[in-house]
Amino acid sequence: MRKFNVTSPAWQGNAEIVFNSYGLLIKIDTSQTNMGADITKSLKLRVPVNVDDISIAFTGTQATVVETDFEATFEMFWHDYPNKRNRHLAEAYWPKMSKTEQVQACMTIGFYRKYLERNSWCNPKIADNWLKKKEFLNDWNKM
């Protein structure tokens, strides 16, 4: 997942844009700005669906786009993880992971889901085991 903050002289505050592990837009948050309806609409029309296009999307504007650290929460992980068993064990293990590992785990779920689709015979691992065994470090695209 990748997160960007957008600022501009046209409004006060930061707009937040978030892309999922597939690089697709999942969130535009203008709640921390004083944008009116017209500016909000203009921003939403400018934001690309794919993260690869973010650098050119704001070319020729006064907006500043900065990629910021993404903080992954357990709720984000749990929402996307395909096997909803042993939540209490996975949630207890989550704070023991480094922030980098937490982000990696969230970013890898999309690739893991695609792996499971390609290999329908394979059952998804239980979440706490997936985290403890650091399965998120596997390159699921090449398996």
pLDDT in tens, the chain (143 residues): 789 999 999 999 999 999 987 889 989 999 999 999 999 999 999 999 999 999 899 999 999 999 988 788 999 999 999 999 999 999 999 999 998 899 889 889 989 999 999 999 999 999 999 999 999 999 888 87
Token representation of residue 84: 């909803």
8 Å CB contact between 34 and 13: yes
C-alpha Rg value of the chain to the nearest Å: 18
On whether both 79 and 131 belong to a single domain, the answer is: yes
8 Å CB contact between 61 and 42: no
Q: What's the burial of 135, exposed, middle or buried (CB within 10 Å: 0-12/13-18/19+)?
A: middle
Give the structural domain span for 94. 74-142
> Domain tally for the chain?
2
On whether both 136 and 97 belong to a single domain, the answer is: yes
On whether both 60 and 88 belong to a single domain, the answer is: no
On whether both 99 and 122 belong to a single domain, the answer is: yes
Closest CA to 76 of 139, 8, 10, 127: 127
